[in-house]
Amino acid sequence: MKKIPPKKKIVRACYIFLALFTAILFLAPIVLTITNSFMSTSEIYSNYGAILENASGDGKRFISKMVNLKLLPDMVSFSQYKTVLFKTPDYLLKFWNSVILVVPITVFQIILATLASYGFTRCKGKFGAVVFFVYIILMMMPYQVTLVPNYFVLNWLNLLDTKWAIWLPGIFSPFSVYLITKYMKRIPKSLVESARIDGANEWQIFSLIYLPTSKSIITSCVILVFIDYWNMVEQPLLFLSDQDKYPLSIFLSRINTKDIGMAFAVAVIYMVPGLLIYLYGEDALVEGATYTGSVKE
């Protein structure tokens, strides 16, 4: 066995330390949110009362008191979750509003994206290249730029303050089309030619070759689209006037300092769907994002 030089050991140790420090830095807010959700309201105010008092004013006062960041509660309490899940139906209503708004966007955007991507992959003319270039331009534009045009179009269609006002712009987003198209173009043409010789039609080529081969990038798009729209704030605020139709993300953007303990519990509940879908498709997300799953001839 080759001995590792001392300098390389030091460099490797520095990299490991830097990686651990970065991981702790990014995970600390999530861990604190989860642990603080099991604290009682009195304990939360005893630890963070100075911040909450400052937040209730103009936000410019100096915090003279010490803030106690506690990782573990003195006594585990489920009162916040009991209040959210059983005593305050408004928060559960907003949770299901998020599910109803996000799931159709994710499902139908992926369906349309796979069909459109297959068309762009198989189309070799200048028209297809021009349309795909327009897709790229639209994807590069921040969605805040398209909010006002979408508002006027939805108002003309009389769809404002309905779920369609959120569904339609999300379903026809070009983000997934771009990623899946770039992936499908890496599929070897020899597979298609072999399928043609065996008598396969376009639908069979699409369903038996392109879809199974693109499983990793499709899973990646599902995760990215779901998390993106699960965290949406601007679209519901602009397109929905009825607050009963707001998703849970709106509540998190308007945390009330009087209910900070409940806000911790709601934040934990809010993180669960995105965390589960990420853990389920983590390998596919990495493979699809790095294109390591390309087909070998």
Q: Where are the domains positioned within the chain?
A: 6-82, 83-291
The residue that leads in pLDDT, 224 or 69, is 224
Give the H/E segment covering residue 192: helix 189-197
pLDDT in tens, 35-46: 888 887 777 777
pLDDT for 4: 64
CATH of 83-291, one of 3.40.47.10, 1.10.3720.10, 3.30.930.10, 3.90.1170.50: 1.10.3720.10
| 62 band by pLDDT with thresholds 50, 70 and 90 | very low
pLDDT at 51 over 80: no
The residue that leads in pLDDT, 152 or 286, is 152
pLDDT in tens, 157-169: 999 999 999 999 9
pLDDT for 97: 92
| 64 band by pLDDT with thresholds 50, 70 and 90 | very low
The amino acid at residue 288 is G
Long-range contacts of 162-167 (CB under 8 A, 24+ apart): 163/100, 163/101, 163/245, 165/235, 165/239, 165/240, 166/101, 166/105, 166/232, 166/235, 166/236, 166/239, 166/240, 167/101, 167/104, 167/105, 167/108
Please compute the mean of the pLDDT values over residues 110-121 and round it to a whole number: 92
pLDDT for 294: 45
pLDDT for 296: 44
